[in-house]
Chain A
């Protein structure tokens, strides 16, 4: 028995060694680097526009962040004639997986390559160095490299504005914040929102609740958790709930719809106009907008026009990258509330008010 296992081990390790010898000559991207050289020149014209997209976990169809980026990509496809390649992250990945995904895209000649989500920051820093002729973009994070554009948003500003709206609309002076996962990005929403509420109504309280703790990201995709959290808040007398929790927010909106006089505030997209929420849209007061689609489309456009900016591009209230929606007629017709929010907006644009980005713990 022992001799046999030894033999097997020797044979196995031998064959592994042989395989590595045989494959020594080629790496997975060596075959295509020649191709990348020819397409890497920026602004190669509409026909040659090949956009690579690496989604965060959840990918296309998450009804949230990734989908917003996908919308921008779809527009680029139809209006700019870009050909696209989309890959998405899986569960329990290491940086090595993400690095490989970006390398796959860049190596196959996709240029620009867009990484969605802060979790790509580490891997993009590596890959950007290896492919200096390819342009990269990353959403929600910053990577310091000459060929990387950082697309970041001032979510605290839009959250501040909907915080003002929440404070004005709450009768009980009790307001709830539901965060998907307790990560710095979502803390930013909470900080801005709380500041907006407090600035408008110092007597109001904001109760924050996070649906899951990292590394567990289910809080972004569990409508049942969102619903339960919102229900708990409503039971405690909270009458305005702001959910920054991806598709979990849909559950929160559903719960709020069950209580008359309560309001829900949407996030990222104009949720009043989302088909999936049409049934309960009357309770969606407004949404804190984060136009990832616009950012993605603008980025691809600027690449095509040869007007690409690298470094950090901030999408804020001033540039219209973030904002709040006025689709709900019940909200839009409330001119007193709108006027106050507009005043707050102007103050932020003028730099008189700077909403905080972190929560004190």
Chain B
């Protein structure tokens, strides 16, 4: 029995790996065709990408970017596990980073405490902004897809209103509007390498990943969450308060989303300005899809995303169109969704036929029920 379980797991892993690999290969083929159609030589382009993407400074860039994408991906994945589509990560992290920047610049605390307060403010603001969507869902039945999209737009307006000279920001000499700079005590450490500085926040991202894995697969809360995500009625029957789970999942997703802007804020810009990166929440959705909501999968997705952006950034320099990045990423997302579905069906069919064979051979139904569960 034990042996059998192991065998199935190995196969599941193989099938699990098959889908993303298939997707990436498809994306490469489609990209090659697009490049060919535009009259460019594709293999040279891939060569440029690989060559440039593997340089030391590119690696640091990729790790730094992936840190941000990973947090966004985990925030989205947490919602997905609960069957919630949190499109609002984008607004959540911008609100969070903005208020964290404002609060952080006002404080003068000893180092660790200062950083902790900034991070906590960010998580709180992110959670609150996401919580609005959660509350609307359980009290008024508003779909979180709609409410989070709208909250993104509201976040944009709120920040635009507050981020103006005379309110919570000031106009600097270069014509940029920004919050005050967070004092030195609120700066997180960077690791100096030959390729530039690696954001210290990467360790927080790793901790978040481990906590995500542990919380979901090793605690009762995680079980309840996954159950509620799988089936409302089944969860209700087993005594899970589904409404509370919805709100809690949104709050947690928002709190993680609040961390998304932190690598940029605590390790690089130390202020929120008009230049603060936007749209990372949507990247997070792609990354979560690619990583199949699995903490390691999301990490690979985030790294791949960052690599593509880095490597294609240089393609323009080599005479290719920079839009290739969008083509590759778009095709990967589409291919991932299709590939997972294909692989899932294939796996299901295989499992069914195996169960059928065993049924015929052993004719002991109880054992097989366990296997197929």
- A residues within 8 Å of B by Cβ? 1, 4-5, 8-9, 12, 19-20, 22-29, 85, 87-88, 90-97, 100-101, 104, 108, 118-119, 121-122, 140-143, 182-185, 213-216, 358, 361
Contact = CB atoms under 8 A, between A and B. Distances in A.
B166 A361 contact: yes
A19 B174 contact: no
Nearest to B275: A119
B56 A184 contact: no
B41 interface: no
Contacts of A22: 54
Nearest to B62: A16
Interface string B317-354: 10000100100000000000000000000000000000
A183 B57 CA distance: 33
Interface residues of B, number: 51
Contact of A121 (B55, B174, B313, B314): B174
Contact of A87 (B61, B269, B275, B316): B316
Contacts of A12: 300
B156 A24 contact: no
A9 B176 contact: no
Contacts of A88: 316, 322
Contact of B156 (A29, A183, A215): A215
A20 B274 contact: no
Nearest to B269: A95
Given A87-B316, A91-B279, A215-B274, A143 B174 contact: yes
Contacts of A213: 156-157, 160-161
Contacts of B300: 12
Given A1-B13, A97-B313, A119-B275, A27 B164 contact: no
A141 B274 CA distance: 14
Interface in B1-39: 9-10, 12-13
Contacts of A104: 314, 317
A100 to B, nearest CB: 6
A118 B174 contact: yes
Contacts of B164: 182, 361
B241 interface: no
A210 to B, nearest CB: 9
Given A28-B314, A92-B277, A96-B61, A118 B175 contact: yes
